[in-house]
């Protein structure tokens, strides 16, 4: 488990997606990404990396619509692998399977490869670099977007046996398309308590807890005022935010209520929709 995704931090634990063809998506996530099926009931599949802990679920809505372009919702969800060798093994498997990649970058804080599932849901697979190298002279986290040495990464996995994604793989972060930044900053920073790490003016905000490079990011690259997609269209269904203490969970709940958000409360969780139409389940662990 990453030191930035422990019981001491607030982080994203589970992502739920809507897909157009459950059988096609099941094949992709099981065979291409190497996730393991925890449950499969009718039109919903829950996946794990370790065989026990859910990290992703997919569901096929009734009268499902294809992914809608230029809307709010998912930019990508990111699976964090435990080390560079495991990322190299996934890369080798995808290349050997001739699955198309969309990009690869070295961000200073991480090395990442990008792809999409058969429905166009964005996926990042990444491994963090040494966190002691992330900071600049003023203590700030330094992001870069440089060319990734794909061949060097591939060599990490050459000759290694592939038997699925590493069991310690987790949801590392989530990146959303928003309609505007100000109200999303209010929701995730002021109400839920994520710290702002980097802000690209008028473009994107990267937020985290515990000094991570980001647990959640929001951009407006689909255009200011981008519409919310239909409920039955392919894309993000919901994601889970885990809070480390009941006190912090209660604080977030009260701050949302104070800001006028409609919140559905349960025994140890609540559900709320952010200003760009993304559903969030907040859990107290």
What confidence tens digit (pLDDT) does each residue in 174-183 have?
999 999 999 9
The confidence band for 1, taking pLDDT boundaries of 50, 70 and 90, is low
User: Is residue 4 situated within a structural domain?
Assistant: no
Other CB atoms within 10 Å distance of the CB of residue 205: 24
User: Is residue 1 situated within a structural domain?
Assistant: no
What confidence tens digit (pLDDT) does each residue in 218-255 have?
999 999 999 999 999 999 999 999 999 999 999 999 99
Over residues 110-124, the mean pLDDT reads 98
User: Is residue 77 situated within a structural domain?
Assistant: yes
User: Is residue 2 situated within a structural domain?
Assistant: no
Q: What is the pTM of this model?
A: 0.97
- Percent of the chain residues past pLDDT 70, beyond the cut: 100
User: Is residue 5 situated within a structural domain?
Assistant: no
User: Is residue 36 situated within a structural domain?
Assistant: yes
140: containing domain: 11-284
Q: Quick one: pLDDT at residue 258?
A: 97
User: Is residue 69 situated within a structural domain?
Assistant: yes
Indicate the DSSP class of residue 79: E
Provide the number of structural domains found in the chain.
Answer: 1
């Amino acid at each position: 488990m990453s030191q930035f995704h422990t019981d001491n931090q607030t982080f994203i634990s589970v992502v739920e997606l809507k897909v157009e063809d459950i059988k096609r998506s099941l094949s992709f996530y099981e065979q291409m990404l190497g996730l393991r099926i925890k449950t499969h009931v009718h039109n919903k599949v829950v996946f794990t990396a370790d065989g026990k802990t859910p990290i992703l679920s997919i569901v096929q809505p009734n009268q499902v619509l294809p992914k809608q372009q230029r809307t709010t919702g998912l930019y990508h969800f990111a699976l964090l692998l435990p080390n560079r060798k495991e990322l190299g093994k996934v890369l080798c498997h995808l290349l050997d399977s001739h699955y198309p990649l969309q990009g690869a970058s070295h961000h200073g804080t991480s090395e990442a490869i990008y792809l999409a599932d058969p429905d166009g849901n964005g996926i990042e697979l990444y491994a963090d670099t040494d966190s002691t190298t992330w900071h600049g002279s003023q203590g700030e986290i330094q992001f870069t977007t440089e060319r990734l040495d794909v061949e060097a990464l591939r060599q990490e996995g050459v000759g290694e046996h592939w038997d699925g994604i590493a069991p310690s793989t987790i949801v590392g972060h989530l990146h959303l398309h928003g309609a505007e930044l100000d109200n999303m900053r209010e929701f995730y920073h002021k109400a839920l308590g994520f710290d702002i790490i980097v802000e690209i003016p008028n473009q994107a905000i990267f937020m985290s807890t515990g000094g991570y490079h980001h647990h959640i990011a929001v951009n407006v690259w689909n255009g200011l005022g981008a519409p919310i997609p239909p409920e039955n269209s392919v894309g993000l269904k919901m994601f889970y935010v885990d809070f480390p203490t009941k006190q912090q969970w209660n604080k977030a709940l009260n701050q949302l209520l104070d800001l006028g958000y409609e919140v559905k409360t349960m025994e140890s969780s609540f559900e709320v929709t952010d200003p760009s139409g993304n559903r969030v389940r907040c859990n107290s662990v």
